Structure 1
Amino acid sequence: MQILVTGAYGQLGSEIKELVSNYPDWKFLFTDVDSLDITSVTAVENYFSANKVDVVVNCAAYTAVDKAESDQETAHLVNAIAPKILAKRCRETGAKLIHVSTDYVFAGNACTPYSETDKTDPKGAYGRTKLDGENFVLAENPDAVIIRTSWLYSSFGNNFVKTMLRLGKEKEQLGVVFDQVGTPTYAADLAAAILQIVKKYEIKSSDFIPGIYHYSNEGVASWFDFTLAIFEFSGIKIKVNPVLSDQFPTPTKRPHFSVLNKLKIKNNFDIEIPYWKDSLQVCLNKLQKA
């Protein structure tokens, strides 16, 4: 079985690479913008013609949330048009598509975890383009799996955990927002879940159940809670002050509540999801050894 992973340089793509040795019978095709332009119909068609592709895992995304407001054309191209092109090609060739989306498709004003059927209402260009991508994927290829995730971090790439570790060594105190609540998600856990879905498909094709799914680690935290845990587990002594989002104005309004209900993905694919603090400890241990 041959699996095409787009966005291979990103956090999720890098974590999938780490798991390749667990699947010796599979051939992974890792691409990024330098080797496959997924915004080009011709490039995608040529790639599929030259390579047998059984499954596509689309990790590619325009994730600069604030920059997306001033660069909406590029964000739309990467987050909406590219998934549409991949979805169409997968349908035409019979390949399965797993596309990764975001909690930013929601307004963030709920008080109970969002389920897959809850009303979407993105508040910024990033969320709108990602929602457009979801809709395009399902319109072109109803047999696709879409996984919304939140607050992704990893030992690879740039992310909140690495930023806090750097600031923790540079500053004596920090202000971190406490009125935005969600769940930190270790990209390695999401990578493992995605490959578990692929494995189930390989064993029994009918076990690939299309639709929208939610995946984050278990539990709930604010960015303030997340920061305290990072410093506690890393042994960094620093004063962290809880502040309101209004004290940190940004071009994009962040969701105040983006906890995701993961019942569907757990039930349909028998996936066990680790608690966010346990996964954070694993990631920090890996970073300390690096």
Structure 2
Amino acid sequence: MMKYRYSSFVGFALGQNTGSARHRKRLGFGLVGCLLLLVCSEGIGLENENPDYAAARARMVKQQLDGTRDAIKHPGVLKAMASVPRHEFVPEELREVAYADGPLPIGYGQTISQPYVVAFMTEKLDPKPTDKVLEIGTGSGYQAAILSGLVSEVYSMEIVEELAERAQIDLARLGYRNVKVRHGDGYRGWREAAPFDAVIVTCAPDRVPQPLVDQLKDGGRMVIPVGGSLVQTLYLLRKHGAQLEQEAILPVRFVPMTGEIRNTTP
């Protein structure tokens, strides 16, 4: 989930990801696009959205994830995206557009990421059935639900207490028993549950938090956006002993990581 901390709708609209030209259609979603998402009458408007959520979810996978130039190829990720009820993780008044190709507000200045972004980051994480994964930024719980069917355990932290409580309730209600949610600052991770096979971060620090690196197993992977408020890069990190291999995946734009990291020095 992407953590946008803009409180207004305009801020939400302008705070989308930006990427390379071939990804911009998915990862860039400006103000006009957001407005169209809410009022368009051709397939994604509230009044015309198909009420059959299963059919809408199947279309989402086929049109946004599987049948495109930058298609998601991981079969487990595609299966998870096809089975997790995304509409259960958005406000009730927006459920009929839950499967549209764009982010949606979930309250408290936060959003649920567009489906492609969730699938893209999950695929890059290369989840394995035996993995224990740490997620920084629970949001509505959708990303954790996607990971739930792909890994052994998910530990998810959310800095907004109300969202953490809501996600915990919804995940339990929907039967995602291997997900644990904690309200707190994700900068220092979840030490008592460490080490983790993989870490996924959905807000951008200006540097990779060392506590998260320390809690990653040798051979573990981390997907994280890093940078300032204007220029950021999504990285795939691999830990090899004391070395941290870094692969730049995509130019992005996430909101900054808040909390303790702002009071620490590199």
Greater relative contact order (Cα < 8 A, sep 6+):
1
Higher helix share: 1
TM-score normalised by length of structure 2: 0.30
TM-score with structure 1 setting the length:
0.28
Give the greater-gyration-radius structure (CA): 1
